Amino acid sequence: MSEERKVQEVLARYVRATDRRDGKAQGALFTDDAVVRIHIKTGPDRYEPFGEPLIGGAGVEFAVTNFMSPHPEGGSSHHTTSDHIIEIDGDLAHLNAQFVVFAVQASARPADGWPAGVSGAQGTVRSIESGYYDTELRRIDGEWKIVKHRVLMDMPIAVPGA
């Protein structure tokens, strides 16, 4: 597997861990001193930091485990990434990719079964977030780890009570 593909796979594992709300798996992708920061778009190509940064894999694991809302019954999320730009210089890499997050909600199967004529997937899929991941990685003992991760959100974030 090429080094570019290995770097891209780190992001693939990151979004899958996010969708599963698996803090341990997500935290394992980061170095102990990694810095993770969310930014919100405030103008054309202009972003401002939002909240406090997370530090290290342990900070990421804690945040995912304790602050991400669980999916509702029959619900899940699905992150997609595209247009990966990867630059590698020795044991350092930079990855920038677009993302879209979809909320998925399965319809409950009626007690009497699906009505006649109903076929195909039952439920809804709607986009809820988009932006860019801007990520720096370092190869440590042959394994790529995230050292800096910026989530550049296309929209503002509302926090209850704030």
For residue 51, tell me if it sits in a domain: yes
Tell me the pLDDT of the chain (162 aa) as tens digits. 899 999 999 999 999 999 999 999 999 999 999 999 999 999 888 999 999 999 999 999 999 999 899 999 999 999 999 999 999 999 999 999 999 999 999 999 999 998 999 899 999 999 999 999 999 999 999 999 999 999 999 998 887 766
The structure tokens listed for 83 are: 């247009």
Smallest Cα–Cα separation from 21: which of 53, 66, 52? 66
For residue 104, tell me if it sits in a domain: no
Give whole-number Cα distances, 116 to 106, 110, 113, 122, in Å. 19, 12, 9, 14
Q: Which structural domain, as residue segments, surrounds residue 53? A: 3-70+80-99+129-153
For residue 44, tell me if it sits in a domain: yes
Which CATH number goes with the domain that contains 15? 3.10.450.50
For residue 114, tell me if it sits in a domain: no
d(CA 38, CA 19): 17
d(CA 86, CA 96): 7
For residue 111, tell me if it sits in a domain: no
For residue 59, tell me if it sits in a domain: yes
Domain count, the chain: 1
* Number of other residues whose CB lies within 10 A of the CB of residue 53: 14
